[in-house]
Structure 1
């Protein structure tokens, strides 16, 4: 490989430093490589005017993309794909980014934030500016999604985009980097790995974008992000995009950004009017039956079912399969080729029901998702917003149903407070609940876990500053009191002082 694409200061894997690992295929220890992972999931997308027209709460209806001072080649690509008006975040972030300032942008899911940072990059980057921009994403699926989105927008430019992420062959990605792509999209772990192997350097980076930075911090990429930002030149432009602003994100921005402009766009994000939300009360042992009941009676077109745990995802898919409902799973334990295959079927319309874990669902941007079902309520109400943001995208209608157990009333209330709306109940009179099975084991209901030790004595709650009451004394009769004194004479007053102090005391 040419030295042009090798980081001379970065250590390469050797027999000593990379024990048990091999460059070939990025695997090691004789493990069979997942050949199907090299093929990215196919994407079929068509944009049409949303039902009911271009909602002014979501779109800047008095503007077009030509009004954003974008190159003709970019505007042509937007027009051909049906993008007519920019969303609120696009109309605000694109012109600001093209001034070169650092930006801390807040935008909810489904507001077109990928194009919001991709359009100014395509407008400012010239073909041949090898490895001049890097975009970091929390998951493989989102990295691939961003890469495909940018390729669609860059179809009439000569700008190349490369996605590097775990699960795909190191050699395949190294060959892509040899071509000198102008934009690199990747997950933090694999980007660092490619730098360590000498396939990638960040010396020429002028643009850095962190997408869904809140999620990257949540899933443990904090140290990796700091390492990567330190490797980039200081005179770069940095853009953070996040659904929420936390103290940790603000601290990260102060450390690695220069006087960032704070951009908060909440209008047109995720509104109750766009997502029709309902919940169904069901006992935990009846949830699989209720899910099958929903899917067969409501007949949703394109559905994502969210579960809290990977083992629940697999269990639900097996149950639906036994009931004759075609469904596929997607979670972190699946091979990359399997994940790619499932996503290609889902995007192509060959699969109607996708059962997913939260982390694996990041980056699922499929046109026409009509329903989101929360099989498990999430531990964090913010995740609920991310989940139902898979539907009702770009101003379209969508439905979100949640299966809620009787023990999850408080968690449902937290969600309602967050979305600022009361979620109505949906009842199915033709669904017959079962009695609790003898072998049923309860699982966590979500929220902060509580623990109970069976057989342990319980003490009533007590104010730590409250004084104890004096012990109750049994009242004695006069005869019982007299019996306690010699001769039965009960003193009526205290004795006088000891001889007015004249008595000789012991020890003197």
Structure 2
């Protein structure tokens, strides 16, 4: 008898010879999905909101709620229990909406169609610097029967399909072809609203009754603050308008002179490298060049028609520069005249703006911002999390810079419109992944828990998807990352690749070593990558199946960005595991709150569950506790804390 047939007779085998997953664990993994970025679905969560004890005493408990699971990025809503009927728009109905909002329909009908579509996709655009007098007079600021005190609502006509780029915005054929070559067909939520805002004429974007107030030339554009989920396609949303703007400027020039007109800042070298690579793919065969700023590079001299330096090889001048604030600031500091090389920059992009304007990078970022002397400079800020303090700081810098550079006329020029775009629920984690909080008690318990994730047992009865390689492990410090790497180095058997399957990445490594680890992880040669928050921001690993917070994140924003390394572009099946010990209990409230909100969006009821008990049992964090955690992390894992208790107990 064939032993293989005997052992596998209860398993369905594909024609390709691969074994199917058992029905009880039939979960699509992010690494197995090759879909293009998808928009957020019009799902409605039937999970009741979190109730406080006070509300529970005031209101009687009534009615059962359904578990309508909402796919955050557009795979539709799935009802797993009895629930009220939910209307889901099909692709055909969406096409009908597009036809109804075409140019042959009355303008007021187009406006209503735009409002309906934006609300369906949970998009909110607000004009922030309209002016107090005009804002108080405007009746259009009433939203759902309430006054929007933050500004004037704006309803740009959304762009749902990239096939409309050429006809609607006159974007060059080559640029449109490059977009198609990368597999972009349907715009994600942030692209759906941000592209029209950054490409279209401000006079067509802003509300008709207050558009005249801005007194801004169409060519000057707008300033934009964007808050959108991790993995939602923000990079393309700010790169495409840049390329279009540069291409348009070149058409108007008689002489082809290469000038650096756009600057993109990002907090890490890995993210800078990723943006540069995406820019080069988007600008292929367009003549528009993108370069990453590196140490020792000089800015200022033209390149010849082939893109080669006509003088010193270290001298570079391209259309778009991508840099970290530290690298660019050091160049300005060492060679003062280099600041003149950026006098033509008319667009500044801050990717992961909340970090760039945080105290760690604030001085360098604002220093570069102030050196950009072009009066027509337009700014856009992008992140998955952006607190009100960051928004206020950005607004104050824009306003003070405008006052400083405005012409000395009797009638001062008004600033460009400053708009804010919020996609979905602000500062929330993507709900299309599984969030797990696991109490491990001690450091030894956390290590044991991580080893169990590396070697899961088939008899595990834990509900939900299991964590499978490749995945990323986050630690609090570089020393802990290196120590954990040494501890796990031989946990993968030689038959499966051994020590080559586990790697560590942190800022103490050389640029060459960091680049090598990134390349190997993207190729799938590395299965477990241990790192710090260096990789928590913006870096796109589409095939990552999970994230492990070996050390708890320092803030709710840090948790959102860490777990956002999986579930990219709407991929399902990702798992985010947070291991916490007794030292972490005092700081776990912010993580539990983010997880609760994410589960609510997914349609998982919190009230009456163990998660509700956990939320109520965890101690509240004071503002001092939050600041202390953000600056220093958990003390037990710092050098000082380890000196007190080397065993971590």
Do Structure 1 and Structure 2 share a fold, with TM-score over 0.5? Answer: yes
Q: Identify if the C-alpha distance between structure 1 residues 291 and 115 changes in structure 2 by more than 3 Å, giving closer, same or farther.
A: same
TM-score (norm 1): 0.69
| Counterpart check, 1:58 vs 2:73 | yes
Q: Which of 419, 427, 430 matches 1:261? A: 419
* Aligned-partner SS, 1:134: strand
**C-alpha contact (below 8 Å) 1:371/1:399 kept by paired residues:** yes
Quick one: structure 1 residues 142 and 403, their matched pair in 2 at CA, closer, same or farther if it must change by over 3 Å? same
Secondary structure in 2 aligned to 1:263?
Answer: strand
Q: Indicate which of 195, 198, 216 corresponds to 1:97.
A: 198
Structure 2 residue 435 is matched with structure 1 residue 280: no
Give the 3 Å change call, closer, same or farther, for CA 123–296 of structure 1 in structure 2.
Answer: same
- Kindly indicate whether residue 358 of structure 2 is the aligned counterpart of residue 208 of structure 1: no
Change (3 A) 1:332 1:272: closer
| Residue 322 (structure 2) aligns with | 185
Worse-superposed segment, 148-157 or 129-138 = 148-157
- Which secondary structure state, in structure 1, belongs to the residue aligned with residue 526 of structure 2? coil
CA–CA distance in structure 2, aligned partners of residues 223 and 278 of structure 1: 37
- Contact 2:38/2:73 (8 A) holds in 1: no
User: Bigger radius of gyration, 1 or 2?
Assistant: 1
Superposed CA RMSD in Å reads 3.4
TM-superposed deviation, 1:160 = 0.5
Equivalent pair of 1:162/1:181 in contact (CA under 8 Å): yes
In structure 1, distance between residues paired with 2:428 and 2:172: 30
Counterpart for residue 154 of structure 1: 283
In structure 1, distance between residues paired with 2:470 and 2:344: 43
Aligned ranges for residues 99-498 of structure 1 at < 5 Å? 99=201, 100-126=221-247, 128-166=257-295, 169-170=296-297, 178-195=315-332, 196-197=334-335, 198-199=337-338, 201-218=341-358, 220-232=360-372, 233-242=374-383, 243-256=385-398, 258=415, 259-266=417-424, 273-282=431-440, 283-297=442-456, 300-324=468-492, 326-397=501-572, 398-419=574-595, 420=597, 421=599, 444=635
Pick from 35, 55, 68 the counterpart of residue 49 of structure 1: 35
Q: TM-score, normalised by structure 2?
A: 0.55
Cα pair distance change 1:269/1:75, threshold 3 Å: farther
Structure 2 alignment gaps of length 5 or more = 1-30, 43-71, 75-88, 95-159, 202-220, 251-256, 302-308, 400-414, 457-465, 493-497, 600-605, 612-633, 645-649
Structure 2: distance between partners of 1:302 and 1:53: 25
Of 349-358 and 265-274, the range deviating more from structure 2? 265-274
When residues 235 and 50 of structure 1 are mapped into structure 2, their CA distance, relative to the original with a 3 A threshold, is closer
1:54 Cα deviation after fit: 7.6
Superimposed CA distance per residue, residues 106-151 of structure 1 (whole angstroms, 9 cap, x where no aligned partner): 2232111111111110111126542010011111111111111111
Q: Which has the higher helix share?
A: 2
Cα separation, 2, equivalents of 1:269 and 1:255: 23
Judging changes above 3 Å, is the alpha-carbon distance between structure 1 residues 74 and 55 closer, same or farther for their aligned structure 2 residues? farther
Structure 1 residue 235, shift from structure 2 partner: 1.3
Task: Return 5+ residue gaps in structure 1 as ranges.
Answer: 1-44, 426-442, 454-508
- Give the secondary structure class of the aligned counterpart of 1:322: coil
Q: Is the 8 A contact 1:147 1:162 kept in 2?
A: yes
- Give the length in aligned residue pairs: 388
Change over 3 Å in CA distance of 1:202–1:272 after alignment to 2: closer
Which stretch has the larger CA shift, 415-424 or 328-337?
Answer: 415-424
Q: How does 1:53-92 map to 2 (within 5 A)?
A: 55=41, 57-58=72-73, 62=94, 63-68=160-165, 69=169, 70-92=171-193
Distance between the aligned counterparts of 1:414 and 1:390, measured in 2?
19
